Amino acid sequence: GAGVSQSPSNKVTEKGKDVELRCDPISGHTALYWYRQSLGQGLEFLIYFQGNSAPDKSGLPSDRFSAERTGGSVSTLTIQRTQQEDSAVYLCASSLGASHSGNTIYFGEGSWLTVV
């Protein structure tokens, strides 16, 4: 496909379990982002990868959250010991170049996470 692909689209997990969310960016896009969208909270920045540079992790809410990007392409967001407040839509996005240069960000459909 031509767009950003995320999986799973929906995930229900028990409190305390670990979850992994996957993102396949648009081919050739060097920048990749993770955002979290909660009801009434807008889009919360989590982490930003740009090429081979060290990722900007400044938005990760706690040390239970981590993300990696392998081979400059696929990314995985991992949430350890999930809590109910982690329930949200996790959005992945990519852009052709660095976002601070005005490049358009293209979003995936999101992974809906529910922690019960």
Partner 1 sequence: AQSVTQLGSHVSVSEGALVLLRCNYSSSVPPYLFWYVQYPNQGLQLLLKYTSAATLVKGINGFEAEFKKSETSFHLTKPSAHMSDAAEYFCAVSGGTGGFKTIFGAGTRLFVKA
The 10 Å CB-count burial string (b at 16+, else e) for 53-72 is eebeeeebeeeebebebeee
Least Cβ distance, residue 102 to partner 1 (angstroms) = 4
Chain positions 37 to 96 lying near partner 1, rule: CB under 8 A, are 40-43, 45, 48, 50, 56, 58-59, 91, 93
Least Cβ distance, residue 108 to partner 1 (angstroms) = 6
Residue closer to partner 1 (CB basis): 50 or 82:
50
User: Under 8 Å CB-to-CB from 104, ≥6 apart: which residues?
Assistant: 95, 96
